[in-house]
Chain A
Amino acid sequence: MSEEVQRYGGGGGGGGGGVAALSLDLLGQVLDRVREPRDRKACRLVSRAFARAEAAHRRALRVLRREPLARLLRAFRALERLDLSACASLDDASLAAALSGADLAGVRRVCLARASGVGWRGLDALVAACPRLEAVDLSHCVGAGDREAAALAAATGLRELSLEKCLGVTDMGLAKVVVGCPRLEKLSLKWCREISDIGIDLLSKKCHELRSLDISYLKVGNESLRSISSLEKLEELAMVCCSCIDDDGLELLGKGSNSLQSVDVSRCDHVTSQGLASLIDGHHFLQKLNAADSLHEMRQSFLSNLAKLKDTLTVLRLDGLEVSSSFLLAIGGCNNLVEIGLSKCNGVTDEGISSLVTQCSHLRVIDLTCCNLLTNNALDSIAENCKMVEHLRLESCSSISEKGLEQIATSCPNLKEIDLTDCGVNDAALQHLAKCSELLVLKLGLCSSISDKGLAFISSSCGKLIELDLYRCNSITDDGLAALANGCKKIKMLNLCYCNKITDSGLGHLGSLEELTNLELRCLVRITGIGISSVAIGCKNLIEIDLKRCYSVDDAGLWALARYALNLRQLTISYCQVTGLGLCHLLSSLRCLQDVKMVHLSWVSIEGFEMALRAACGRLKKLKMLSGLKSVLSPELLQMLQACGCRIRWVNKPLVYKD
């Protein structure tokens, strides 16, 4: 014991008793209970002892830059979860090198989402270094293909795999994976459009433990459903926008031996209520059914079968369907519904909603987007019956007003999210909504009657607010932002697009929002580099900023971002008054910047673009530029960008100034 005390005696502890007397292991267990990442960071900085203890126990790591990766992997020996998705410019060589020196026997989950620089060599190294690998997320690595799949197939213990948007994966690569990883439980092949019925058939024959499968957007057909119907443990199946699947396929699925609990057939053009009826026929324990944007009309057979699910169904989405009040009454028979989706459904009336909610008091998520026949009466019914409601979406329900919202605010204390976009609500409504102290997400887009007064109400008591959307609320001024900065300190996402009264002074207030990550400021014509500086300096966690059409923002604004916004990943500066010098400095300074939209930068010369793009070549993943540049930028530069995994979107937009 005295030896251990001696070890830290000279360190930061000051030689006193208390914490310095704890063994490394105990200290580590104490620090384990510190949850907030920022608090953990603070603990690490107390003393070397604290840093060592935390390092010895650390289980999850998210690396933002490639340079320290090797050192970090060696320092943390208890790692179980590794997130490299935000690691700028990670490539095979650096990944393999970093893995070689480290002891990663405990690593079970690795996330490489959007890590476009990582290929089969890096994955080979990963699988070799992590013998207990259970879950890999390779989603959005659009260049990944069969060779990458083959590398992952060597991880025999793999249980979860996401190949979403790995566009190069074909039946061959899938075959390697299913043969090499027979214990797969969760697999996503979303958007892997090279995969066919053959691949799905082999999958179904080999991976008997499969519980969750996503074949959304694939061109597979009914034969795939025949194969899938043999997967006895399958609980969750997503087939969004599978246009080759129709009622015959659903009937096959209905006759299968699955344990289906959740089915998503949204956007499936050729699915009708008949097919759904036969699906339900075979699966009386369905909990979640998503048929949004797929059905055209409703047959009685579906409704009668729906009644069979009255005890188990918790989630039902029927967006885009033509409904009637009697239909809603029938749906209400599923008393345990927790989520109902009726977005853009024709024929949703106060009467229908009332008959639905009086039977479904457990509803927590209610989506009534564009149900424009609804009035305050519907809100009254919801307030009276669904007191547990947490997410309420009323976009474009223009007939509701503050009276209905008063009822909601009074009766539903658990309200976490409310979407009132395009509802024409006013400050009085916000006065009532201020009662919802649990509110996390508030969307008020297109509500031009909202003023600083309304914001003041919200700021005074919705201290937990994380996301606020004030898109086109053009009565908001700097004073409203002052109130916001004072009362809603946890805000992460803020949309102030087209709130054109806002000036640098307002942005100055935003500088005190330390949690801010996403900021949209489109067409704020009065803001300049001064305001941008305040935001860049104060909002240290900023990862996305949209300055499209901020005509008064010039190089000074870019200098500020380059100097202070070191975590920035996504930037839009289309139509800003910047020059090649500012652009070049920005792109060479921000090491995490991956996505830049810069259409119509009229003051940037061709040389300016060349230099700026070359400076950031290895890091950029997405670019949006005017198509005229395609022929004047050097082909060598464009090739280099493509080779580094950057995708360029060329647009043909006329130069038009808006206000």
Chain B
Amino acid sequence: MAELVGPRVYSCCHCRNHVCLHDDIISKAFQGRNGHAFLFSHAMNISMGPKEDRQLMTGLHTVADIYCRDCREVLGWKYERAFEESQKYKEGKFIFEKAKISDAIHLGTLGRK
């Protein structure tokens, strides 16, 4: 099935624009603004907001909000800089909030396996 329709892709849940790939998931154990969120290594079809320093649960970070390029819906943010050594692995990676993305083709419990 996957071989027929291409890689498993997630889309912006409001305009269905493809924004990230399942294979790029690094972690499913993140907290976004409103709930469960995932860390992805790559993102596509997004535009970025201005950089700002934010105090998150894991410490101070420089982040930039990411928007769906078509409908401007805020989908999460990108980690530009982490100030603690243990959090450096997040730099350059993207947070997508579960509530903002949906499985483009496959049905499935988003956020489990």
B82 to chain A, nearest CB (A): 18
The answer to whether B29 touches A344 (Cβ under 8 A) is no
For A353, the chain B residues whose CB sits under 8 A away are none
Chain B contacts of A191 at CB under 8 A?
1
> How far does the Cβ of A372 sit from chain B's closest Cβ, in whole Å?
4
- Please tell me if B16 contacts chain A, counting CB pairs below 8 Å: yes
A217 contact set on B, CB distance < 8 A: 5, 105
Cα–Cα distance between A342 and B112 once the two chains are bound (Å): 21
Q: Are A193 and B4 neighbours in the complex by a CB distance under 8 Å? A: yes
CA distance A296 to B72 in the complex (A): 13
Q: Evaluate contact between A396 and B29: CB separation under 8 angstroms.
A: no
B34's partner among A165, A296, A372, A471 (CB-CB below 8 A) is: A372
Q: For chain B, what secondary structure do more than half of its interface residues adopt (helix, strand, loop), or is it mixed?
A: loop
Residues of A near B4 (CB, < 8 A) are 167, 193
A293 lies within 8 A of chain B by Cβ? yes
A322 touches B34 (CB 8 A): no
Partner of B36, one of A293, A319, A344, A446: A446
Identify which of B1, B15, B35 contacts A370 (C-beta below 8 A): B35
Contact B98–A396 (Cβ < 8 Å) = yes
Cross-chain contact of B102 among A241, A293, A296, A346 (Cβ < 8 A): A293
Chain A residues near B99: list those with CB within 8 A.
344, 370, 372, 396
What mask results when residues 304 to 347 of chain A are scored 1 for a CB within 8 Å of chain B, else 0? 00000000000000011010000000000000000000001010
B35 touching A296, Cβ below 8 Å: no
Expressed in whole angstroms, the minimum distance between the Cβ of A430 and any Cβ of chain B is: 20
B22-40 to A contact mask, C-beta < 8 Å, 1/0: 0000000100001110000
Tell me if A600 counts as interface (CB < 8 A to partner B).
no
A200-244 interface bits toward B, Cβ cutoff 8 Å, 1 = contact, 0 = none:
000000000000000001000000000000000000000001000
Q: Is the CB of B102 within 8 A of A398?
A: no
CB distance from A119 to the nearest CB of B (A): 20
A468-479 CB mask vs B (1 if < 8 Å, else 0) is 000110000000
Q: Report the bound CA distance from A396 to B34 in whole Å.
A: 7
- B34 touching A344 by the CB < 8 A rule? no
Q: Which of B1, B13, B15, B98 touches A165 (beta carbons < 8 Å)? A: B1
- State A319–B5 Cα separation when bound (angstroms): 23
Q: Is A372 a contact partner of B35 (Cβ separation < 8 A)?
A: yes
> CA A278 – CA B40 in complex, angstroms?
41
* Minimum CB distance partner of A346 in chain B: B14
A23 to chain B minimum Cβ distance, whole angstroms, is 52
Residues of B within 8 A of A267 (CB): 104-105
**How many residue-residue contacts, CB under 8 A, span A and B?**
50
C-alpha gap A63/B100 in the complex (Å): 44
Q: Is A269 part of the contact surface with B, judged by Cβ < 8 Å?
A: yes
Q: Which residues from B are CB-within-8-Å of A319?
A: 102
Inter-subunit contact B102/A396 (CB<8 Å) = no
Q: Does A544 sit at the interface, judged by CB under 8 A? A: no
Report whether B1 and A396 are in contact in the complex, using a CB–CB cutoff of 8 Å: no
**Listed residue (A165, A191, A320, A445) with the most chain B CB atoms within 10 angstroms of its CB:** A320
**What is the CB-to-nearest-CB distance from A139 to chain B, in angstroms, rounded to a whole number?**
13
Docked-complex contact B105 and A472, CB < 8 angstroms:
no
Asked, given contacts A370-B99, A446-B36, whether A344 binds B13 with beta carbons under 8 Å apart, the answer is yes
In the complex the two chains form, what is the Cα distance from A398 to B104 in whole Å? 25
A320 CB contact (under 8 Å) in B5, B102, B105: B102
**Complex: A480 Cα to B21 Cα, angstroms:** 37
Residues of chain A within 8 A of B13, CB atoms compared: 293, 320, 344
Q: Is the CB of B16 within 8 A of A269?
A: yes
Provide the bound-state CA to CA distance between A446 and B100, in Å. 18
**A–B Cβ pairs within 8 angstroms, 11 of them:** A217-B5, A217-B105, A241-B105, A267-B105, A296-B15, A344-B13, A344-B99, A370-B34, A370-B98, A396-B35, A422-B36
Report which B residues bind A (CB closer than 8 A): 1, 4-5, 13-16, 29, 34-36, 71, 73, 98-100, 102, 104-105, 112
Beyond A167-B4, A269-B16, A293-B16, 18 extra complex contacts between A and B, CB < 8 Å: A191-B1, A241-B105, A296-B14, A296-B15, A319-B102, A320-B13, A320-B14, A322-B14, A344-B99, A370-B98, A370-B99, A396-B34, A396-B35, A398-B34, A422-B36, A445-B112, A446-B36, A472-B29
Q: Which 4 A-B pairs give the minimum distances between C-beta atoms?
A: A370-B99, A396-B35, A372-B34, A422-B36
